[in-house]
Chain A
Amino acid sequence: MSSDVILRVDELTKVFGDLVAVDRLSFSLSRGEIVGLLGANGAGKTTALHMILGVLRPTSGRIEIFGRDLHRHRIEVLSRMNFSSVDVNLPANLRVWQNLWIFAKLYGVQDTWSRMDRLLELLEIGHLRNAITGHLSSGEQTRLNLCKALLNDPELLLLDEPTSSLDPDIADKVRKLLRRIQRERGLSILYTSHNMRDIEEVCDRILFIHRGRLIAEGPPQRVIQQFRHRNLEELFIHIARHGEVVVRGDEV
């Protein structure tokens, strides 16, 4: 295995009763690469993400992160990665700094205070350091979640809809920030979003999932051209509605 491969997913499958949520999904993510995981609601993105985060056990298949089997080296692997999701919050009754301090300590961050302050400033919420988390707007909470996700200087970051509740200005800043961190620190990101502009702007490569199966993979522009669509949004709608047509390659 190449040392540049941060994440390797091999024949990953998850079955819930009669439903095959993820079907023999295989892909890899290299150091410093941002990969978008795309698919309609129920396509299997979140299921795949939860398996990579170690909170859902695969029916079969293998996940290797940093060259180590996730389930055998869970703590070691998880301490080097992080995640942020629009569906997950930090406790609303704590102050912003308290939430960040707790997670910094759980992840074993050394220079806790300076790291916290630097991230809060980077995400333009430094003035909210002492605010009660529950009093933040949804956009501010999303940025706070991103702060938490960057606390341990992760080598792999899993982001589930990171810009969904941000206004266009802040969303643009967050995209640029992620790109900057990726360039400067060689951060690898697995990114899910329903905002196709996000994906086109941020991702080096996309993985299209339909009914649990990987049906398209490559740089956004190449995939768009491959399937003869004008943009990613058109392609997304097409795959969501006629996924099987694309799978057969009738239009290619």
Chain B
Amino acid sequence: MSLHRVWILVLRYVFIYRRSWVRMLEILFWPTMELLVWGYVTRFIQRAGQGELPHLITFLIGAMIFWDILYRSQQGITLSFLEDVWTRNLLNIFCGPVRLAEYILGAFLFGLLRVSVTLVFLIVLAWVLYQFDLFALGFYLVPFVANLLVLGLALGMMTTAIIIRYGQGAEALAWGVPFLIQPFAAVFYPVSVLPKPMQVIAYAIPCTHVFEGMREVIRSGAMSWSHLGWAVGLNVIYLAVAMWLLVRMFNVALDHGLIAKLGTE
């Protein structure tokens, strides 16, 4: 064994990492996100009163299913785009009579199909294994799911925009972006567990209101409509920003030849 060659191979990885700020960031990103999420889950369990404990498992299962809807919806767009990058097919698509909006909508609808399959499977599995009935949320289920899908669409467009701009070096964001908001979105614990400054950020994220609303319905059977109103309003803003960002980055890509580069590299 040559230690010199081993060292050269280590250097090769260092060079690869130095070329991508996303990869550098990733070293700290995942552990930090995991620590934050599980730290606040622990705090929530510690603070929960005796009356709250029976709801805890239901909260967690419901949150897990809802989180998956958001995550898969975002992935539907980003991974479909990356699939075309990985197979060097992107240029074939964009040199054809395809509009950016058509491409994104196609990817979103496929994502919707994937979410539907996942959702049905998880609902059945949660019922069989834990007697968790997602339909206990009743009518609220529809606006909850719709809001998560729309946020997934917005996050998917934002992620795709960043990958278009920064190339394949940024592809880790396809998985990272939803988890970036997870600790703030109070998925597995209520917003009240978070420190005050984080609560401000939390309430600016549409899905926070969905998760808060879900817990409220499970706990009391009713929900304040303000949560739904905030979720819809914020989603409109997120969607508008995502569209603007995607079109902007696509134009930058057209100016710098990044579409062609992504499609052939």
**A contact residues vs B (CB 8 Å cutoff):** 16, 46-47, 50, 53-57, 75-76, 78-79, 82-83, 85, 87-93, 103, 106-108, 148
Contacts of B91 in A (CB 8 A): 53, 55, 85, 87-88
**B contact residues vs A (CB 8 Å cutoff):** 83-84, 87-89, 91-99, 251, 254-257, 259-260, 263-264
In-complex Cβ contact of B87 among A16, A47, A91 (8 A): A91
Q: Which of A46, A50, A79, A87 has the most CB of B within 10 A?
A: A50
Q: Apart from A55-B94, A106-B97, what are 6 other A-B pairs with CB-CB below 8 Å?
A: A50-B257, A55-B257, A56-B257, A57-B255, A82-B96, A91-B87
Contacts of B257 in A (CB 8 A): 16, 47, 50, 55-56
**Bound CA–CA A79/B95 (angstroms):** 9
In the assembled complex, how far is the CB of residue B92 from the closest CB belonging to chain A, in whole angstroms?
Answer: 6
Contacts of A106 in B (CB 8 A): 93, 96-98
In the assembled complex, how far is the CB of residue B190 from the closest CB belonging to chain A, in whole angstroms?
Answer: 43
Whether A55 lies near B95 (C-beta < 8 A) is yes
In-complex Cβ contact of B88 among A82, A87, A108 (8 A): A87
**Bound CA–CA A241/B118 (angstroms):** 60
In the assembled complex, how far is the CB of residue A196 from the closest CB belonging to chain B, in whole angstroms?
Answer: 24
**Bound CA–CA A32/B50 (angstroms):** 83
Whether A93 lies near B87 (C-beta < 8 A) is yes
Whether A88 lies near B92 (C-beta < 8 A) is yes
Contacts of A55 in B (CB 8 A): 91, 94-95, 254, 257, 259-260, 263
**Bound CA–CA A90/B263 (angstroms):** 11
**Bound CA–CA A90/B96 (angstroms):** 13
Whether B254 lies near A88 (C-beta < 8 A) is no
Closest residue of chain B to A78, judged by CB? B97
Contacts of B98 in A (CB 8 A): 106
Contacts of A78 in B (CB 8 A): 95-97
In the assembled complex, how far is the CB of residue B248 from the closest CB belonging to chain A, in whole angstroms?
Answer: 13
Whether B264 lies near A57 (C-beta < 8 A) is no
In-complex Cβ contact of B83 among A46, A50, A83, A91 (8 A): A91
- Assuming the A-B contacts A50-B260, A55-B260, are A103 and B95 also in contact, with contact meaning beta carbons closer than 8 angstroms in the complex? no
Closest residue of chain B to A81, judged by CB? B95
**Bound CA–CA A16/B260 (angstroms):** 14
In the assembled complex, how far is the CB of residue B164 from the closest CB belonging to chain A, in whole angstroms?
Answer: 12
**Bound CA–CA A90/B95 (angstroms):** 13
In the assembled complex, how far is the CB of residue A19 from the closest CB belonging to chain B, in whole angstroms?
Answer: 12
In the assembled complex, how far is the CB of residue B247 from the closest CB belonging to chain A, in whole angstroms?
Answer: 14
**Bound CA–CA A250/B93 (angstroms):** 45
- Assuming the A-B contacts A16-B256, A55-B259, A55-B260, are A88 and B97 also in contact, with contact meaning beta carbons closer than 8 angstroms in the complex? no
In the assembled complex, how far is the CB of residue A179 from the closest CB belonging to chain B, in whole angstroms?
Answer: 24
Contacts of A92 in B (CB 8 A): 87
**Bound CA–CA A127/B41 (angstroms):** 59
22 contacts between A and B (CB under 8 A): A53-B91, A54-B95, A55-B95, A55-B259, A57-B251, A75-B97, A75-B99, A79-B97, A83-B95, A87-B88, A87-B264, A88-B263, A89-B87, A90-B87, A90-B89, A91-B83, A103-B92, A106-B96, A106-B98, A107-B96, A108-B97, A148-B92
Closest residue of chain B to A90, judged by CB? B89
Closest residue of chain B to A93, judged by CB? B87
Contacts of A107 in B (CB 8 A): 96-97
**Bound CA–CA A83/B92 (angstroms):** 8
Contacts of B251 in A (CB 8 A): 57
**Bound CA–CA A49/B261 (angstroms):** 13
**Bound CA–CA A89/B88 (angstroms):** 5
